[in-house]
Amino acid sequence: MKSHAGAFFTGEYRNVLAEFGYEKAAIRERLEAAWRELFEGGEDTRIYHESGGDMGYMLDTGNLDVRTEGMSYGMMMAVQMDRQEVFDRLWKWTMAHMHMTEGANAGYFAWSCSPDGSRLSDGPAPDGEEYFAMALFFASHRWGDREAPFNYGTQARDLLRTCLHKGEDGLGDPMWNPHNKLIKFVPNCEFSDPSYHLPHFYELFALWAYPEDRPFWKAAASASREYLRTACHPETGLAPEYAYYDGTPNNERGYGHFFSDSYRVAANLGLDWEWFAADQWACEAAGRIQAFFADKRPEDYRRYSIEGKPFEEKALHPVGLLATNAMASLAADGEPARASVDLFWNTPLRMGDRRYYDNCLYFFALLALSGNYRIWKP
């Protein structure tokens, strides 16, 4: 991989699509068109819906619920696209329906609700919280803070404080293990999900969280990079959905294989390298993942062991998988990187019931590969 200083330091973001010969005007139109389809399109394409006079939600079209994953993803998309009204609608819905104020999970967000706002679970999912915090920081820096709940920066810092210090009074559990600095799958479980590990977010939390929490986040960035080295297979690059703290697959409930959650690892490796270029290993791992899929067609993507053994079960989200593999080209190079990007460019957004997860990952890849997934600084 060529030397790279990281966009955080240079302020320059690669447009990989343009590097591979696609016209900048066509790239921009693809990005705008994807936004329109997901946020303003017809009922067979959109995943965003307005609610009431000033709220909105992202619908998981496969499960017909609203998840902190999708709400936080929608907020990140909105801040990157400079759509403050959509961002505020999503955040207000989240605070109105998902924010928990009582019990062991007070301060966290209920991970699943019905579109009418009623809760389907009182448990949180840490991947939602970390995306909420990052999107809120970016909103604070891009648009400025207003009255609560749109005092974005304070909301982000308070949320991160809860994530780290919950349970110190004996009630509830933190989202990160305080000793090894690794994010948990859920607060009351002592194992992790490799796709939750976002060291490029933690580097920024280490700058913008409350001062007393900043050393933790700096350490967490290093811990997560080391963890991914243990969780990704040394030959295939594949990671399991759930893994123990030593990186070995947690297959107690059948989640020790490469499947839907796992796809995000390739995208995270790419974005971490693009933003911070902190670990050359990320380039190697991204390349291994792309090489593994180089001879496989999307219609035949499957569940795999991390060693690469295919199972009969077909992938539920083939478009999401090819999108994250393309986003890995921020770190990888060579022919598999070019082939992954070409496959992505020549694949449209997914239609139908399962489109939500695929198209969220697709949109993030489009942002990143066009140089538009950016760090918004104070």
Give the residue numbers annotated as catalytic, written as ranges: 69, 261
Picking from 274, 264, 262, the residue whose alpha carbon sits closest to that of residue 329 is 274
Separation of alpha carbons 221 and 127, rounded Å: 15
Separation of alpha carbons 176 and 264, rounded Å: 19
E strand or H helix that includes residue 352: none
Q: What is the DSSP letter of 199?
A: H
Separation of alpha carbons 182 and 247, rounded Å: 11
Q: Helix, strand or coil for residue 377?
A: coil
Separation of alpha carbons 79 and 373, rounded Å: 10
Q: Rounded to the nearest 10 degrees, how much is the dihedral formed by the CA atoms of 370, 29, 35, 368?
A: 0
CA atoms 70, 130, 34, 268: torsion sign: negative
On whether the CB atoms of residues 318 and 332 are closer than 8 A, the answer is no
Residue 125's alpha-carbon distances to 2, 81, 121, 261, 345, in angstroms, are 36, 25, 10, 13, 31
Q: What is the DSSP letter of 231?
A: H
Separation of alpha carbons 75 and 156, rounded Å: 13
Report the number of secondary-structure helices (H) and strands (E) in the chain: 14, 6
